[in-house]
Structures are given as structure tokens and as C-alpha cells.
Amino acid sequence: MSDEAGESGSVFHVAEEIVVYKGRRLTVVEAQIEGPDGERHQREIVHHPGAVAALPLHDDRSVTLVRQYRAAIDSDFWEIPAGLRDVEGEPTVETARRELVEEAGLSASTFRHLVTFHNSAGFCDETVTVYLATELTSVPDNRQGAEEQQMRVERMPLDEALAMVADGQITDAKTMIALLLVDRAGA
């Protein structure tokens, strides 16, 4: 066996996957990971279609956030408008555009890619692509599902949202990353 890294840059690779659970959005697999010595190791991996989010930044440096119930933490959560990549072949910027309208009732003339990151690379392949949405106008929202029907949409100064990150009121990773990147860039 060679110690040379393959295309992924790693000396490890997924040799085999067995589907343990397949849901509407997630697939859980038992993966056999082969190391540089040929030995195999079992890992559980969650395959996720990915998500897209948009931070709506208004001309007065205020932002629009949503507060919606998230079952996984059984609590309401402050976050930027976001959604799953659940439309086959849809470009991420179009998903961001769609989610901004659906959740916040906003349309943006400009979308700038901020970052694409992995949420929990230790067990899940989900990526989140985040855009900065500017040149905003109000449009009718198109909320989908029970949680969105009940969510609160709030516009607040960027500095207030950043203070909510600092004091632990905002704990959602994509929202914290987007707010901190925009503040750092002085956008």
C-alpha cells in the first residue's frame, strides 16, 4: 500500500457504503473507510443535499432575520433566510433568491457569494452556501410549511444582530458566519 495522497489530498478514502436509512432529505450510511495501510474502519455518515442562505442587508445597514421553530433543538431560532437545495439542478443563487422571497418577503437585485462551508464534516457532507443580498425591495412572501407560517420576520440594525451573536442569542452557524463576514468586510 502507498502512503501517497489521492485526488482528495488524503491517504484515506471511502471504499464502500451501505445505506442504513433513507428519508426524504437525508441518507444515513455505514461507510468502510480504507486507510493507507489497507485497514478498514467503519464510520457513520449522513448525506445531505446541502442548503443555501442569504443575508439581506438593507441600504441603512440593517438586516432582516427570521425567528422560526427548529424541531432538532425544540426551540425558536434566529437565523438568516435559508433553505434546502431541494430543487434538482437549481443554481445556488436561485435557491437563495427563492428562499429570500419565501421567508422574508424580499427581492434582491444583487447577490454576492460570501462563503460555502461544511457544517459538521465529522459525520455529514452538508455544505451551506451563503450569499449577501442587497438592493432589496419588499414583495409578498410565500411561506412553506407549518414552521414558516408561524415564524417572525424582523429587521434590525446590523450592530444589534452582531450584539446578539456576541451575547449568545444568535447561535446558528450560517447566521453568525454571514454577519461576522459582512461586518469584517465593512459591507
Q: How far apart are CA 101 and CA 174, in angstroms?
A: 18
Residues 6+ apart with CB under 8 A from 181: 114, 115, 130
Residue 129 in grid coordinates: 452556501
Give, in order, the Cα–Cα distances in Å from 162 to each of 7, 159, 167, 171. 39, 5, 9, 11
Catalytic annotation, pick one of 34, 147, 148, 154: 147
Question: Do 77 and 148 touch, CB atoms closer than 8 A?
Answer: no
103 assigned to active site: no
Catalytic residues: 147
